[in-house]
Amino acid sequence: MDRDDLILISVDDHIIEPPDMFVNHLPERYKKEAPQLVHRDDGTDVWQFGGATITNSALNAVAGRPKEEYGVEPQGLDEIRPGCYDVHERIKDMNAGGVLAQMNFPSFPGFSARLFATKDVDFSLALVRAYNDWHIDEWCAAYPGRFIPMALPAIWDAELCAAEVRRVAEKGVHSLTFTENPAVLGYPSFHDPYWNPLWRALSDTDTVMSVHIGSSGRLAVPAADSPPDVMITLQPMNIVSAAADLLWSPPIKQFPNLKIALSEGGTGWIPYFLERLDRTFEMHSTWTLQDFGGKLPSEVFREHFLTCFITDKLGVRLRHDIGIDNICWEGDYPHSDSLWPDAPEQLHDVLTECDVPDEDARKITFENAMRWYSFDPFAHIPREQATVGALRRAAEGHDVSTRSRSHQLIEPAEKLEAFRSKARAAVAAAR
């Protein structure tokens, strides 16, 4: 398939939330207590809420910036591309990058919105609903067919979480962001029947639980003095643990329609994982009492799990060992792993090198995403206007050049020390 004929739907990108997101959706009585974006004297913008300060790490928004500006130090909105937080600019960046549609994970509330879990349950629920309504009714609705809507969970209460899934499903939402390990956050594990109302709501509404790497809130570092390279290398590893935890958990057996996406977890590890699942079942199920109704665990995995990749040549080669219907592409804009604006070139090179036929390419690049997330962009956008080539023609003249945006260039030694301080705090918190 020619590069310009590709249709790209990304199932993992990110929003850097704008300062006015709560204005139209939070009840008046809560607005003074709502999270506030504060501009500090050092030029950084931070969210402040309930005594906590949440910074926007530089690695979270580096699209279009030189690698010298990567790091974990805080930054201001004027140091990042407007497409990170302005939906109109996001669409321009998507067009220039040849991407038809995205699914956008949250940033400052965390992937599971644990930040909103206050002592006031009504206030907490109001925050979750306000965020979801802003995301659905403003961000996604601004450009129909361009965004797969996603909801935050009311993670502190399974019944409330289930009710929110049902509420937003009425508005066309079929994706819920959730943690890869609720027990780490102080909630019951996936094996606890506590979550049954949520599993039932997800199944009833055909909603995918989208489990993003890092959503348990822990840095994947074995020691406080590990270099950042260790954390970045190991980032997908938490998702492997989550996949095993979920595959062997009761809801997989009790809710046959349950769907789970392993977001930003890569795919190259899946064939060995499936082989290990089946070997474990063969050797130990007689005493661990596992029963998948006559199916192998690898078969059950393919019924319930979606795997996702940004750049994963090995996974593309092994696509049929994984399951061609279980793979989606993701762009990760504006994070540091993103290929923007050259994703079509790099993805096309991989598809060509791995000799992927057009039928398989269509599934990976857009058809699987449409099916798993009950999403139909072509109800709004003619197919001939949805290709890489057509979108880029619509974006002619839009600046996609790489250029410095930071107020000051921080020396690598300072960046490393900032990372190590964060790592030391994470390791201390885990003890």
pLDDT in tens, 330-362: 999 999 899 999 999 999 999 999 999 999 999
Q: Bigger pLDDT: 420 or 405?
A: 405
Residue pair 381/145 in contact (Cβ under 8 Å)? The answer is yes
Residue 291 is part of a domain; what is its CATH number?
A: 3.20.20.140
Residue 362 lies in a domain: yes
Peptide bond into 341 cis (omega under 30): yes
CA-nearest of 132, 72, 102 to 11 is 102
Query: Residue 233 is inside which H or E element, if any?
Result: helix 228-234
Strands 305-309 and 175-178, by their bridges, are unpaired
> Comparing 237 with 256, which gets the higher pLDDT?
256
Our count of domains for the chain comes to: 1
- Range list of β-strands (E), 75-198: 101-105, 147-148, 175-178
In a domain, 241, yes or no: yes
Rounded mean pLDDT of 192-218?
A: 92
Average pLDDT over residues 171-187: 95
Q: Tell me whether residue 250 is in a domain.
A: yes
> 216 pLDDT band (50/70/90 cuts)?
confident
Report the first-to-last Cα separation within the chain, whole angstroms. Answer: 52
Tell me the HSE value of 16 on the side-chain side, using a 13 A CA sphere.
32
State how far the Cα of 92 lies from the Cα of 64, in Å rounded to an integer: 13
Q: How far apart are CA 372 and CA 169, in angstroms?
A: 14
Average confidence (pLDDT) over 144-161 = 98
Taking CA atoms, 367 is separated from 10, 28, 46, 359, 374, in Å, by: 11, 42, 38, 10, 10
pLDDT of residue 348: 98
Is residue 421 scored above 80 in pLDDT?
Answer: no
Which ranges of 248-323 would DSSP assign to H, the alpha helix? 250-254, 270-288, 297-304, 313-317, 319-322
**Residue 121 Cα to chain centre, angstroms:** 26
Measured CA to CA, the distance from residue 406 to residue 44 in angstroms comes to 10
Q: CB atoms < 10 A from the CB of 257, how many?
A: 14
Residue 142, domain member (yes or no): yes
Percentage of the chain beyond pLDDT 70 is 95
Q: Residue 215: which residues within 8 A CB-CB, separation 6 or more?
A: 110, 111, 112, 177, 178, 179, 180, 181
Q: Using alpha carbons only, what angle is made at residue 264 by residues 36 and 270, rounded to the nearest 5 degrees?
A: 155
Distance, CA of 422 to CA of 269 (rounded, Å): 28
In a domain, 222, yes or no: yes
Name beta bridge partners: 47: 37, 54
Q: Which positions ≥6 away from 110 have C-beta within 8 Å? A: 215, 217
Tokens representing residue 211 in the block: 């489990």
Which range has the worst mean pLDDT, 205-219, 266-280, 313-327?
205-219
Looking at residue 83, what is its pLDDT?
96
Per the CB < 8 A criterion, the answer to whether 164 and 128 are in contact is yes
Whether 111 and 215 have beta carbons less than 8 Å apart is answered as: yes
Round to whole Å and give the CA distance between 15 and 108.
9
Q: What is the mean pLDDT of the chain?
A: 92
186 in a domain, yes or no? Answer: yes
pLDDT (0 to 100) of residue 42: 85
Cα–Cα distance for residue pair 150/132, rounded to 1 Å: 8
Say what the pTM is. 0.94
Alpha helices in 289-431 (DSSP H): 297-304, 313-317, 319-322, 343-353, 358-362, 368-372, 388-394, 412-430
**pLDDT of 223 over the 70 cut:** no
**pLDDT above 60 (res 245):** yes
| Residue 409 lies inside a defined structural domain of this protein | no
The whole-angstrom separation of Cα 139 and Cα 173 is: 13
Residue 101 lies in a domain: yes
Tell me the residue range of the domain where 178 lies: 3-20+87-395
Q: Does the pLDDT at position 61 exceed 90?
A: no
Work out the average pLDDT over 253-282: 96
Angle between helices 237-247 and 270-288 (to 10 degrees): 40
The residue type found at 250 is: P
Q: Give the tokens for residue 140.
A: 């996604």
pLDDT for the residue numbered 87: 98
Give me the residues paired with residue 246 across strands.
Answer: none
